[in-house]
């Protein structure tokens, strides 16, 4: 890879660090401190999380309609995203938090879809698609950065100063990307006709979309409340912040590792394996609340969710290479839809059963359903394709 290609890819990584690792997931390690200092209930925290995911849904859906000036539109959204991080530390109004988390989510949705589309198209145009997995390492790096920095910053500057410090860091990453991309021309996307949109939702794609949506619903419960759950178990409270670092470190190399596996096995088989590992990770704390079990849970969570994101988006683009923006937008929007209801269900189950085990059990069941959907969908769509292939020669002979 040339220096320019590395710079373009690294710029994309930095944007995902901002939008996913910091703006989105720094909320997880900061949440316990906000809950203690501001007296937030588990349900109130769930609504904050859901506001972010509603925004993410709106942004992910809207990104599918951006065909021109992608680069400028993307960088403008990153600027808004950075401001939403900074402002979280400058107010104590719950209503403003709801609004800011929505803005962070909406801009994050645009950033994820547009960055993924731009980078994957750029790499493909230079015959470098095998490097696309490295883009998603930005998610894990961002989680690791937030997990490492939050406890240390909070000790000196409380949760307010933590948000502000992370906002300043995010601004530096944005400026770095602007410099790295200064000479890069991003070609405009092709507008997708309605007939092509219909074709996108045929074959295996609908099953992949449904499974991905269920994944969004299940994984986000652990992603939102993992640190808070550990923090509220007194015997392992000391590992709360460290667990998020483990999740981030596991997520950082995950995408390239999972993407390398599809050279040996089919994408659906590798995806299924990722789902199985994630189910184990989510359900571990239900059956065991030791330091080792929660840290293994955090590791499996980080390692699998980034793998599932990278594998699903790459596979969708492989199925529809000329509509990368649209397919990534559809996947991400459904993923976000699952994330909207996930934290609300988690809050309901936790308050109803008065136990963190209930929302985790619910999350695990959703991932099991996602795995079943993926496997059944692949078998069903392959069978339909095989029947269609058999019918075509018969029609020709008639």
Question: What are the tens digits of pLDDT across the range 48-62?
Answer: 988 998 898 899 889
194 band by pLDDT with thresholds 50, 70 and 90: very low
Q: How high does pLDDT run on average in the chain?
A: 86
The residues near 373 (Cβ < 8 Å, ≥ 6 apart) are 207, 210, 211, 214
User: Which has more pLDDT, 190 or 116?
Assistant: 116
pLDDT of residue 162: 96
| For residue 152, pLDDT beyond 80 | yes
User: Which has more pLDDT, 288 or 185?
Assistant: 288
pLDDT of residue 288: 87
pLDDT-above-70 percentage for the chain: 91
pLDDT of residue 212: 94
Provide the CATH number for the domain around residue 224.
1.20.1250.20
Question: Poorest-confidence range of 12-21, 87-96, 219-228, 271-280?
Answer: 219-228
Q: Of 137, 190, 159, 153, which is closest to residue 21 (Cα–Cα)?
A: 137
Give one DSSP letter per residue of 16-33, joined into a string. Answer: HIIIIIITTTTHHHHHHH
190 band by pLDDT with thresholds 50, 70 and 90: low
Average pLDDT (160-186) is 92
126 band by pLDDT with thresholds 50, 70 and 90: confident
| For residue 211, pLDDT beyond 80 | yes
Q: Which of 21-25, 202-206, 225-229 has the highest mean pLDDT?
A: 21-25
pLDDT-above-90 percentage for the chain: 40
Give the span between the Cα atoms of 201 and 189, in whole angstroms: 20
Token code pair at residue 169: 């860091």
| For residue 397, pLDDT beyond 90 | no
- Residue 238 is given by DSSP the state G
396 band by pLDDT with thresholds 50, 70 and 90: very low
pLDDT of residue 388: 61
Distance of CA 195 to the CA centre of its chain: 29
For the entire predicted model, the pTM comes to 0.81
pLDDT of residue 155: 92
The residues near 115 (Cβ < 8 Å, ≥ 6 apart) are 12, 15, 16, 19, 74, 135
201 band by pLDDT with thresholds 50, 70 and 90: low
Question: Poorest-confidence range of 224-228, 304-308, 315-319, 376-380?
Answer: 224-228
Q: Contact 190/320 with Cβ under 8 angstroms?
A: no
Q: Within a 13 Å sphere around the CA of 202, how many CA atoms are in the beta-carbon half?
A: 9
Average pLDDT (177-189) is 78
Average pLDDT (132-158) is 88
195 band by pLDDT with thresholds 50, 70 and 90: very low
The residues near 374 (Cβ < 8 Å, ≥ 6 apart) are 207, 208, 211, 268, 271, 272, 275
Give the span between the Cα atoms of 207 and 213, in whole angstroms: 10
Token code pair at residue 92: 């104590």
390 band by pLDDT with thresholds 50, 70 and 90: low
| For residue 240, pLDDT beyond 70 | yes
Question: Poorest-confidence range of 156-160, 249-253, 314-318?
Answer: 314-318
Helices (H), the chain: 3-16, 27-38, 42-63, 70-88, 94-125, 137-180, 194-200, 205-231, 240-251, 254-261, 267-287, 291-319, 324-353, 357-397
Give the span between the Cα atoms of 380 and 373, in whole angstroms: 10
pLDDT of residue 200: 65
| Count of the separate structural domains present in the chain | 1
Average pLDDT (314-333) is 80
Instruction: Write out the residue range of the structural domain in which residue 291 sits.
Output: 3-397
- Residues listed for the chain: 398
| For residue 196, pLDDT beyond 60 | no
CA distances from 362 to 40, 274, 305, 353 (A): 23, 18, 17, 12
Long-range contacts (CB closer than 8 Å, 24 or more residues apart) made by 154-162: 154/30, 154/33, 158/33, 158/37, 159/30, 159/33, 159/34, 159/37, 159/89, 160/89, 160/90, 161/89, 162/26, 162/30, 162/33, 162/89
199 band by pLDDT with thresholds 50, 70 and 90: low
| For residue 367, pLDDT beyond 90 | yes
């Amino acid at each position: 890879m040339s220096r320019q290609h590395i710079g373009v890819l690294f710029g994309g990584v930095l944007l995902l660090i901002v939008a996913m690792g910091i703006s989105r997931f720094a909320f997880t390690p900061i949440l316990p401190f906000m809950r203690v200092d501001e007296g937030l209930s588990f349900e109130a925290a769930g609504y904050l999380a859901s506001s972010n995911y509603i925004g993410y849904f709106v942004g992910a859906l809207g990104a599918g309609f951006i065909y021109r000036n992608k680069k400028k539109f993307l960088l403008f959204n990153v600027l808004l995203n950075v401001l939403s991080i900074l402002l979280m530390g400058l107010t104590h109004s719950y209503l403003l938090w709801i609004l800011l988390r929505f803005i962070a989510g909406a801009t994050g949705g645009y950033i994820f879809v547009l960055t993924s589309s731009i980078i994957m198209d750029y790499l493909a145009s230079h015959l470098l698609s095998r490097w696309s997995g490295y883009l998603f390492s930005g998610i894990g790096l961002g989680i690791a950065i937030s997990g490492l920095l939050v406890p240390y910053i909070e000790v000196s500057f409380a949760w307010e100063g933590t948000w502000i410090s992370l906002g300043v860091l995010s601004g530096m990453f944005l400026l770095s990307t602007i410099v790295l991309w200064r000479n890069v021309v991003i070609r405009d996307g092709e507008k997708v006709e309605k007939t092509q949109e219909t074709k996108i939702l045929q074959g295996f794609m609908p099953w992949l979309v449904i499974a991905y949506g269920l994944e969004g619903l299940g994984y986000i419960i652990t992603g939102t409340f993992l640190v808070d759950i550990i923090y509220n178990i007194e015997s392992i409270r000391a590992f709360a912040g460290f667990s998020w670092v483990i999740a981030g470190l596991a997520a950082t190399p995950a995408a390239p590792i999972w993407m390398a596996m599809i050279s040996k096995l089919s994408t659906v088989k590798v995806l299924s394996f990722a789902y199985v590992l994630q189910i184990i990770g989510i359900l571990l704390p239900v059956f065991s609340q030791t330091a080792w079990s929660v840290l293994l849970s955090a590791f499996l969570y980080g390692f699998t969710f980034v793998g599932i994101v990278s594998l699903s988006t790459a596979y969708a683009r492989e199925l529809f290479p000329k509509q990368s923006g649209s397919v990534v937008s559809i996947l991400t929007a459904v993923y976000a839809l699952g994330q909207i209801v996930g934290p609300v269900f988690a809050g309901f189950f936790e308050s109803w059963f008065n136990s963190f085990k209930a929302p985790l059990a619910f999350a695990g069941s959703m991932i099991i359903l996602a795995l079943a959907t993926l496997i059944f969908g692949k078998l069903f769509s392959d069978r339909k394709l095989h029947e269609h292939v058999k019918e075509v020669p018969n029609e020709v002979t008639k």
